[in-house]
């Protein structure tokens, strides 16, 4: 699997998203992804599934050194003490002694970003995570974290798919070698019914979701974390690497409307 180098870690370009994968069925889904060859798993304390992700990792027998595990601290735990406690709790639930990537899940209004990033760096320095990063950060917040605070930000995990323009953030991060991790990368399945995506997929003997993923994975410094519960769906998404898109396909995707945000607006910071 192709990887992206960032802040001393090699992050597999395709990972398994696990939001809403819970209980025994969720554990079975993570186990099947690991059996299919996934080595990058995305979870979060907010998902309430770190125990089953940890159990799946333990059951898989996959060497820890082959795995890239990301988890995240929720926005109401962003004081230094509560970040450290959240980290400790996630570690126990995941049955790990370190994460590969630990993210601030959402910015919170009025948060003390210098104190947050200093605490995150402290966790990295203590060996509890190999790298730290952020999610749902706007351009001004990224600039504050990277330029003013000088934090070693290893990624910004953001909503990114064929229906959403993220060029401002990409244009800022790509020259700095900081990856974007695309969440909701198949637009939560919406691409399946899109005639443009269907036409491109048919041309390549592929499926619309595979086209949507390959469009992301072809971009410099972009990883993607589709969620799929079934082994067949997980394999389908891994097979997106086999699709070869051409300029005509990219032009058709570029022409799709790009203002569709799927994430719950209740969480949305002022993106612009």
Ligand X SMILES: NC(=O)C1=CN([C@@H]2O[C@H](COP(=O)(O)OP(=O)(O)OC[C@H]3O[C@@H](n4cnc5c(N)ncnc54)[C@H](OP(=O)(O)O)[C@@H]3O)[C@@H](O)[C@H]2O)C=CC1
Report how far residue 102's alpha carbon sits from residue 70's, in angstroms, rounded to the nearest whole number: 6
Angle (deg, nearest 10), helices 231-238 and 23-36: 40
Pure H helices in the chain: 23-36, 50-60, 80-94, 113-125, 139-143, 167-173, 195-204, 208-217, 231-238, 247-254
Stretch that binds ligand LYEC3VGP, among 7-15, 122-130, 247-255, 260-268 (CB under 6 A): 260-268
- Identify the residue among 120, 186, 200, 245 touching ligand X (CB under 6 A): 186
Q: Smallest gap, in angstroms, from Cβ of residue 29 to ligand X?
A: 8
- Could you please report the per-residue DSSP string of 109-166? TT--HHHHHHHHHHHHHTTSEEEEEEES--HHHHHIIIIIS---EEEEEEE-STTB--
Asked if residue 271 binds ligand LYEC3VGP (CB under 6 A), the reply is: no
The answer to the question of residue 265 lying near ligand LYEC3VGP (CB under 6 A) is no
CB of 33 to ligand X, least distance (A): 11
Which span (23-31, 84-92, 247-255, 263-271) binds ligand LYEC3VGP, by CB under 6 A?
263-271
Binding-site ranges for ligand LYEC3VGP (CB under 6 A): 19, 44, 263-264, 267
Binding-site ranges for ligand X (CB under 6 A): 17-19, 42, 105, 135-136, 157, 183-189, 192, 207, 209-210, 225-230, 233, 236-237, 263
- Per the annotation, binding residues for substrate are 105
């Amino acid at each position: 699997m192709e990887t992206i180098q960032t802040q001393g870690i090699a992050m597999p370009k395709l990972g398994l998203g696990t939001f809403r994968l819970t209980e025994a069925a969720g554990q079975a889904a993570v186990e099947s992804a690991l059996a299919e060859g996934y080595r990058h798993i995305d979870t979060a304390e907010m998902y309430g599934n770190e125990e089953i992700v940890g159990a799946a990792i333990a059951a898989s027998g996959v060497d820890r050194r082959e795995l890239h595990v990301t988890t995240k601290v929720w926005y109401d735990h962003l004081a230094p003490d509560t970040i450290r406690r959240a980290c400790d709790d996630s570690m126990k639930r995941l049955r790990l002694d370190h994460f590969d990537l630990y993210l601030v899940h959402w910015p919170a209004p009025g948060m003390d970003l210098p104190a947050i990033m200093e605490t995150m760096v402290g966790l990295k320095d203590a060996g509890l995570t190999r790298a730290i990063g952020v999610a749902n950060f706007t351009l001004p917040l990224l600039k504050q974290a990277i330029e003013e605070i000088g934090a070693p930000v290893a990624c910004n995990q953001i909503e990114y798919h064929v229906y959403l323009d993220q060029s401002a953030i990409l244009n800022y991060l790509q020259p700095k070698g900081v990856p974007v991790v695309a969440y909701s990368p198949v637009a939560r399945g919406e691409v399946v019914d899109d005639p443009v995506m269907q036409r491109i997929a048919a041309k390549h003997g592929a499926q619309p979701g595979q086209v949507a993923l390959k469009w992301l994975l072809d971009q410099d410094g972009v990883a993607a974390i589709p969620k799929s519960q079934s082994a067949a769906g997980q394999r389908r998404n891994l097979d997106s690497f086999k699709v070869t898109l051409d300029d005509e396909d990219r032009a058709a995707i570029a022409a799709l409307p790009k203002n569709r945000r799927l994430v719950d607006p209740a969480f949305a910071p002022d993106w612009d």
